[in-house]
Every structure is written in structure tokens, then in C-alpha cells.
Amino acid sequence: MKKLYAVVAMLAITFGQIGLSHARTSQHGKPQAESVAGVFDYYLLTLSWSPTFCLTHKDDSQCSGKGYGFVLHGLWPQYANGGWPESCPPKVALSPAEQKRGLTLFPTPKLLEHEWAKHGTCSGLGATGYLDAADKAVGAVKIPEKLQPFSGTVYLPAQKIAELFRESNPGIPTDGIAVICSGPELSEVRVCMGKDLQFGACGKGVKTQCRAGDIRVPPSR
């Protein structure tokens, strides 16, 4: 009888540990691997429509009447199955020369520093290599004529905006671009690129996020 009690007790402990382990997994989801520089599948080039950003950030230096249209938000390493690495070690600050170079690409020092720390460090290219890649990526995308800076508000469906980009850049596949909105306004256009910076399909989770029908494209400021 004592042996039976011992077996029952052992089973209870074992199943309790399994249940606890399952509860932890269910609560926290799939464990995230540590972000490692250079370990990713493709890039997401993100172009921000500056006039929309300036609607809510009027004191930002890019909003001081410079007349920007699309500006570089970032070049983000991504995983094909969804998600992305971020803030990869070693976390090294930009040198003055790298900051000067970066400001020829990004509209503000604050954005440059943020993008390098969060995303650029995960490229595995070092600061100079990452900035060169961002420059090449931006240069590879031709902004549609209808979406160059303009003085009056434009209304277009998100699908049309994606079509305009594909017409100006025939290499972008149908599943290689996403249009992002902030409420009723155009916020960003995201273009997927391989590590070789050639246009390609987007990974899991990258898709257009806008309401149906026309969206508002604010004029340049």
C-alpha cells in the first residue's frame, strides 16, 4: 500500500511539473531567440510620408517647411516567418563621420540614431555598411510621379498607391509591398527586399494596413 501511495505521489508531481511547464509556455508564448547581428532573412525598406508624420509632430525638425514627401524611415532586417531582430549586440554608437553620412539619408538625427540602434545593429554590416545598404535600397525605389510632393490633398485607395509603386518599379511583386495608414491618412509604404537588395516577396505578417476606400494623402508642409 505504501508503494502504491508513493507511485501515485510521484505521478502527481510529474504531471504537475508538466502542467506548470505548459502553463508557462501558454502564458508567454514561444520563447524568443536572442537577436543576433546578420541572422535574418530579408529587408523591409520603410518610406514614411512626411506630411502625415508632421500632422502630429509639428515641432520635429523635418516639419519646418522643408516640403518633404516620402522620407527614409528605416531599413529593417526581418524574419520570413514573422517578426524581426532588434538592438543586436554589440551596441556601438555612431561616430561623427557616420552621423554625418547618415544625415544625408535620414531626415533627423533622432531618427538616424534610433534606426541604427534598433535595426541597423542587426544587419551585421557595421554602421558604414548599413548606411551604404540603406542608400542603395532607397536609390532602387522610384517614387511614382503622382506621389511626389504636392500642394493639395490627394485621395487614393491603398491598392492604387501600391499599384503606382509597382508601375514605377516593375520588379516589385504583388506580395512585395505594403501600404500603412495612420487613421484615415497614408503613413508609410514598405517594400520588401532580399539581402542583396533586390525586390522580393514579403514575409509573414507584412501586409497593407489601411481602411477600405480612399485614404487621405496630406500635402507637403
Out of 98, 115, 185, 188, the active site residue is 115
Q: Using an 8 Å Cβ cutoff, are 199 and 45 in contact?
A: no
Out of 28, 113, 119, 145, the active site residue is 119
Out of 28, 34, 57, 73, the active site residue is 73
Strands 177-182 and 185-193: antiparallel
Q: Using an 8 Å Cβ cutoff, are 92 and 128 in contact?
A: no
The enclosing H or E element of 46 equals strand 42-49
| 115 tagged catalytic | yes
The grid coordinates listed for 183 are: 487613421
| 98 tagged catalytic | no
* CA separation, residue 85 to residues 58, 79, 163, 220 (Å): 31, 8, 30, 33
Q: What is the Cα–Cα distance from 86 to 74, expressed in whole angstroms?
A: 13
| 28 tagged catalytic | no
Active site positions, annotated: 73, 115, 119
